[in-house]
Amino acid sequence: MVYFVNDIITGALIGLLYALVAMGFVVIYRASKVFNFAQGELVIIGGFIVWFTTLQAGLSLWLSIPLSLLLAGFVGYLIERIFLTKLIGESVFSMVMVTVGLLILLRGFVLLLFGPAVRPFPVIFPLKPLFLGDMLIPLNLLIGGIITIVAAAGLSWFFNRTRPGLRMTAVAEDHVVASSMGISVKSSIAFAWVLGAILSTVGAMIFLSGKSLTFLASDIGFAALPVALFAGLESIGGLILAGVIIGIVQSLTTNYLDPVIGGSLGSVVPYIIMLAILLIRPTGLFGWRTIERV
Amino acid sequence: MTYKTHSGLRSLLAVSAIAFATVVPAKVQAETSYNLALLSDFSGPYADIMPVLASGRETVFNWWNETRGKELGVTLNFKNYETRYDAAQVASLWPGIKSELNPIAVVGLGGPDVAALSERLPEDKIPMFMSTAAYGFAWKPDSWIFNPRPTYSHESAGFLSWLRKQRGGDEPIKVAILASEASPAYVDMAKGLELYAEQNPDDIDIVEVIYTEVQPTDLTTQMRRVARSGAEALVIQTNTSIVVAAKRGLQANGANVPIMMSSHNGLPASGGALGGLEQLEGDYEAYGMAIAADEDSPARQFYNTLTSDYGLKAPWNVVTAMGISQGLFVATVIEHAIQENGAEGLTGEAVRKALFSKPITTEETNGFLPTLTFTPDAPFPLEGLKVNIGTVRNGKIVIEATSVDIPVVQKW
């Protein structure tokens, strides 16, 4: 029974990590209606920035973490300025296709700049787990989970209670209408990309702490995809619930079904949930339902 | 100068010209050249080790051209093709490779090359030579794809039998396997060892088989299962990232289960990704090829020759050893084919035939590989199989055991 509860807790914490990465999808989507296929690549860009500032430049963690977040935000800003700002007012499809191109470009850029070698990632969170009686809780995932919940609460408040947040929501509704109301579409979208890149870097720190870094780490972006679609692409608070559900189901499948069937159903089950929810409720659990009056 | 003198000079020039013309074609004939297609992954999952592996095999071909090739009047030309370790990419490149190079042999990299070309090569009559261990799914007679090493499951079975002997006692050794379903080759490695354990319950007891992603999020709970099961060894023959995540998971649980790695995810690569070899103190790498340790050996001496005289820049490690051993394997088979058929008109079919005609001795591969005797029954030697074992002691890779016998593993 202890192990069962332990597996549920660990699953929930891994699900919260997925939710944090998925938050990057949602922030960009809420501000621009663009689904960013390059979210996983933003995670590795963030990871390489952290690696560079700590292990290469030799800065202390207290200095390198804020500096990395700042640099990641700047990269997000640059990406928006170079590739997306010209597409404001164009169809959403063309912007989405740009993110597909970005995925390939950023992966190539990382390979070109840092090479393909597997590198050690700095230990940012303690490696020793927390023991509660017979239960074992990975401390990095626990701290990551707390960060995710705090970030979700902060972003929910920002998008629903502040004027800049509401302006970004208006931009997502319609670029032209928002622009005619005096809202700076460019600034809103740029800010969303800055936020998306920062969230991805935080995700990289939790995901990779004490492990290894290669360009293959971008796969976490695809692992977070079911959480984003399950929650609905507009709901930040919904990500927490979706992440926890998917994480727990995945953990239980990995620990109890996989040994029986001798396979890796655990890595597939989040996508099965995603497809099921898309069939039943295409907008996700908490996504906005658009009512069009003709 | 008289007309007669002119005439004599002309005759002299004509004779010289004829002599030159007869000598030059002879020289051209002496430089018969053949092409090799090298399949590479500079931008896929093995991009981190590819530059080192590539320089190992390419330098061997340069060495061979300068030494053995010169004596035999043959030059081996080679060209790399980027496959991204993707079977679809290999399949789409293959017709172009054939028409561009007309190769007498393909120098392969891994599972996707085998998956993409196993049905085509027999039709095209071009053999492919690998550097890795073999795969159970490719264990068929009359193959055109050949591995100098037996399957990964043979290698892990050999290591585990050795470890059991070291431990002593009659009990089977308890083993956990950490694999991934990301590649059929990874699943194959686990399935083969599972079958061996089933058929040899007194030797090995598989207590856990865990499948994970190629870049796992966290393996703390999975490693807790491994520690709880009383495993005496953890076999990981997939990739470096999984070794790192497993090691962190074991450390988090305060567990010390020795990990066995293979050549492509071995001690130097995994140690580097963990931040230092000392993190892998007491862990092992095991494979049917020379261990790249500090000790002096024929393999190490040959590596030194390649670095000093042929410009090899790669460091002395297992990946370089893989590249060199593959180059030597291919070059020796071609040399045998030339000895049997002459330098002219060599074909892929003749190269394959030469592989079966006589053993490739360990001396011919400078100790990088054991003596290999191929038969048409399997894509790898079925007899005299050996595995070498390396470990980390005091932060250094040392040879723990050499030429350890591999037990009989049934086909799966």
Q: Who wins on pLDDT, A268 or B147?
A: B147
Q: What ipTM does this complex have?
A: 0.74
Q: Is residue A289 part of a domain?
A: no
Q: Which of B84, B183, B220 to probe the A interface (max A CBs under 10 A)?
A: B220
- On whether the CB atoms of residues B124 and B375 are closer than 8 A, the answer is no
SS3 B212: strand
- Residue A179 within any structural domain of the chain: yes
Distance (Å, rounded) from C-alpha A209 to C-alpha A113? 22
Measured CB to CB, residues of chain B less than 8 Å from chain A are 42-43, 45, 47-48, 50, 180-181, 208-215, 217-218, 220-222, 224-225, 240-241, 244-245, 248, 251-253, 269, 272-275
- Residue A250 touches chain B, beta carbons under 8 Å: no
State the maximum Cα–Cα separation within chain B, in Å, rounded to a whole number: 106
- The reported pLDDT for the residue numbered B14 is 53
**Number of domains within chain A:** 1
Q: Do A118 and B212 touch (CB under 8 A)?
A: no
Locate tokens 């998971």: which residue?
A: B249
User: What pLDDT tens digit does each residue of chain B (412 aa) get?
Assistant: 444 445 555 555 555 555 544 444 444 445 799 999 999 998 887 787 899 999 999 999 999 999 999 999 999 999 999 998 889 999 999 999 999 999 999 999 988 898 899 999 999 999 999 999 998 988 999 999 999 999 999 999 999 999 999 999 999 999 999 998 887 888 999 999 999 999 999 999 999 998 888 888 788 878 988 998 999 999 999 988 899 999 999 988 889 999 999 998 999 889 988 989 999 999 999 999 999 988 888 999 999 999 999 999 999 998 999 999 999 999 999 999 999 999 999 999 999 999 999 999 999 999 999 999 999 999 999 988 999 999 999 999 999 999 999 999 999 8
Chain B residues with CB-CB distance to A141 below 8 A: 218
Which residues are CB-contacts of B77 (< 8 A; sequence separation ≥ 6)? Answer: B33, B34, B35, B36
Q: What is the DSSP letter of B128?
A: E
A214 shares contact with chain B (CB less than 8 Å): yes
The answer to whether the Cβ–Cβ distance between B221 and A251 falls below 8 Å is yes
**Nearest Cα residue to A189 out of A55, A27, A37:** A27
Cβ pair B248:A127 closer than 8 A = yes
Angle CA B404–B410–B412, to nearest 5: 125
Q: What is the largest CA-CA distance in chain A?
A: 61
Interhelix angle B318-341/B267-274, nearest 10 degrees: 160
Residue A272 inside a domain? The answer is: no
Given B48, B214, B218, which is nearest A14 (Cβ)?
B218
A206 touches chain B (CB under 8 A): no
Q: Residue B141 gets which letter from DSSP?
A: S
Residue in B with minimal Cα distance to A138 = B220
> Percentage of chain A surpassing pLDDT 70?
97
A10 to chain B: which residues are within 8 Å by CB?
Answer: 218, 220-221
Task: List the one residue out of B156, B153, B148 whose CA is nearest residue B325.
Answer: B148
Q: Cα–Cα distance between A124 and A140 in angstroms, integer? A: 8
**Position B98, amino acid:** K
Do B31-150+297-381 and B152-287+389-405 show the same overall fold? yes
What confidence score (pLDDT) does residue A291 get? 66
Is beta strand B386-393 parallel, antiparallel or unpaired with respect to B284-287?
antiparallel
Tokens of B210: 């865990």
Residue contact A111–B43, C-beta within 8 A: yes
B31-150+297-381 folds as Rossmann fold (3.40.50)
Within a domain: A278: no
Nearest chain A residue (CA) to B249: A127
Q: CA of A203: which chain B residue's CA is closest?
A: B217
pTM of the model: 0.79
Structure-block tokens of residue B357: 């005609």
User: pLDDT at position B130, please?
Assistant: 95
Taking an 8 Å cut-off on Cβ atoms, the answer to whether A127 and B47 are in contact is no
What is the structure's pLDDT at A72?
A: 96
Tokens matching residue A119: 């590198």
Min CA distance, B301 vs chain A (Å)? 27
Q: CA gyration radius for chain A?
A: 19
Which token pair is A262? Answer: 């001798």
Per CATH, domain B152-287+389-405 is 3.90.226.10? no
Q: Give the contacts of B166 (CB within 8 A, at least 6 positions apart).
A: none
Confidence of residue A127 (pLDDT cuts 50, 70, 90): confident
Torsion of CA B282, B288, B293, B297, to 10 degrees: 140
Distance from C-alpha of B79 to C-alpha of B37, rounded to nearest angstrom: 5
Q: Give the pair of three-digit tokens for residue A87.
A: 């597409």
pLDDT in tens, A203-243: 999 989 988 898 878 888 888 899 999 998 888 889 999 99
In this prediction, residue B192 carries a pLDDT of 96
- Provide the residue ranges of all domains of chain B, joining segments of one domain with +: 31-150+297-381, 152-287+389-405
* Sequential DSSP letters for B157-221: HHHHHHHHHHH-SSSPEEEEEEEETTSHHHHHHHHHHHHHHHH-TTTEEEEEEEEE-SS-S--HH
Q: Find, in chain A, the residue whose alpha carbon is nearest to that of B268.
A: A118
Residue written as tokens 């080679």?
A: B78
Q: What is the pLDDT of residue B362?
A: 94
Side chain identity at B106, as an amino acid letter?
A: V
For residue B53, the chain A residues in CB contact (below 8 A) are none
A257 touches chain B (CB under 8 A): no
User: Is A261 inside a domain boundary?
Assistant: no
Q: Which residue has the tokens 């035939």?
A: B353
Question: In Å, how far is A127's CA from the nearest CA of chain B?
Answer: 6
Residue A106 lies in a domain: yes
State mean pLDDT over A91-101: 85
Contact call for residues B137 and B211 (beta carbons, < 8 A): no
Task: Quote the mean pLDDT of chain A.
Answer: 88
* Domain carrying residue A40: 2-222
Give the nearest partner residue to B245 out of A211, A255, A262, using CB atoms.
A211
Nearest CB neighbour to B45, from listed A216, A255, A259:
A216
Angstrom distance (rounded) from CA A213 to CA A200: 14
